[in-house]
Amino acid sequence: CIRDRLMGDGDSLTHRIVGQVASVLRRGEAGESPSETALERLATAHPDEEDRRRSAVNLLHGLLVLAAGTERFEKTVATWADRVATALATGDLRSSDDWIEIVASIDVDGQPPGMITTALSEAMQGPAVDTLARLVTAPPPDGAGSITRKAAPLFAARGLVAELGDEQRRGRRKLLLKGLQVVAHLRPQDLVPHLGDERWNVVRNVVVALGTSKRHDVATEIDPLRRHADHRVRLEALRALYRLRGDDAAGVLLEHLNDPDGSVAAEAARLLGAVHLPDLDRRLIRRTEEADLPEALAAVMALGRLTTPASADALRRMARRMFAFGRNRQLKRAARRALEDRT
């Protein structure tokens, strides 16, 4: 019954306080709307801090039970989500565990799917997100926050993406990105919608995280971004596709040897150097002979990163050309640099 739920195992609330709370909740069951303010006053009526904490948790649990299946549920859930966010923002992992645990027994049949996780997602910002990131990447040794940590991937994506946004502080960027990578590994579907964001830096951050997810199917979502207007997104898209597809990304990397941005073409060449395909050196050599100069130079760079005899022979031939002018002179210089880098 509600009275027993409010008491809890080992709870030291006085019978008088519990009786008052149960009375309020019974009025709610009878069709009256319980006053949350009144319940809050009851929650703080007991002088013991631990009892106040437990009482507040139990009271909101009672409100959620009563509101389930009614129009009040969404507002009550929003209040509950704010409590979780406040606990996280202050580093009170014990309370965040308590707040999250109370929804486990709530019957939410008839409510819109995802209402609880959506409310949590919307409540996460600022210090609360930082705590979440630390929790999922380096959980405390004492086990505090274990319940929150297990639930975090269900609601952390939105806050992590938003906070990472334009963050310039290297330490915080690293923390938030690591948290986002954990979410990407467990629930990549929550990050995919952010790939359509209009801000290039948001898209780049999400691509970086998804690239570490080890989820091969995610590559399909990232592939269109190698044609993104911003070269920084294209750069990370190539890296992500290589991480996810490995040697199967060779065709994409070869295509981007002629990327209009030199840094992207250079990265494609660098990544090709780690690809293991039988005919890759032959395909690169053909590009040094037939492609436009920028692409041909990138192909020379890629050849320099391969370790096959054919790639070494091709570079030596280009480096030893006599009477090289124009295009051939630039290829000769590039081949010499590539050979030097191999030694």
With a CB cutoff of 8 Å and minimum separation 6, the contacts of 14 are 46
Q: With bands split at pLDDT 50, 70 and 90, how would you rate the model's confidence at 323?
A: confident
Tokens of 205: 């951050």
CA dist., res. 63 & res. 189, Å (int): 32
DSSP state of 193: G
Cβ atoms of 160 and 191 within 8 Å: the answer is no
The residue-averaged pLDDT of 74-94 equals: 90
Q: pLDDT tens digits for 254-272?
A: 999 999 999 999 999 999 9
CA atoms within 13 A on the CB side of 223: 14
Res. 2: pLDDT tops 60: no
Phi then psi for 213, rounded to 5 degrees?
A: -75, -20
Helix (H, G, I), strand (E, B) or coil at 249: helix
> Looking at residue 14, what is its pLDDT?
38
In the chain, DSSP finds a helix count (H) and a strand count (E) of: 20, 0
Highest mean pLDDT among 29-43, 205-219, 329-343: 205-219
- For the chain, the farthest-separated pair of C-alpha atoms sits apart, in whole angstroms, at 101
End-to-end CA distance of the chain: 78
- pLDDT for 48 beyond 70: no
Which pTM value belongs to this model? 0.77
Instruction: Give the model's pLDDT for residue 229.
Output: 96
- 8 Å CB contact between 265 and 226: no
| C-beta neighbour count of 252 within 10 angstroms | 18
Give kind and range of the element (H or E) at residue 168.
Answer: none
pLDDT tens for each residue of 178-205: 999 999 999 999 999 999 999 999 999 9
Q: At what angle do helices 262-272 and 293-305 cross, to 10 degrees?
A: 30
DSSP notation for 123-151: H--THHHHHHHHHHHS--TT-TTHHHHHH
| Banded pLDDT at 148 (limits 50, 70, 90) | very high
> How far apart are the C-alpha atoms of 288 and 295, rounded to whole Å?
8
Collapsed DSSP state (helix, strand, coil) of residue 343: coil
Beta-carbon neighbour count of residue 162 at 10 Å?
17
Cα R_g (the chain), whole angstroms: 29
Contact 281, 314 (CB under 8 A): yes
Q: What is the mean pLDDT of the chain?
A: 83
What percentage of the chain reaches a pLDDT higher than 90?
A: 62
Q: 251, 279 in Cβ contact below 8 A?
A: no
Measure the CA–CA gap between 283 and 279, rounded to whole angstroms. Answer: 6
The whole-angstrom separation of Cα 121 and Cα 81 is 8
157-164 helix and 115-123 helix, angle to the nearest 10 degrees? 20
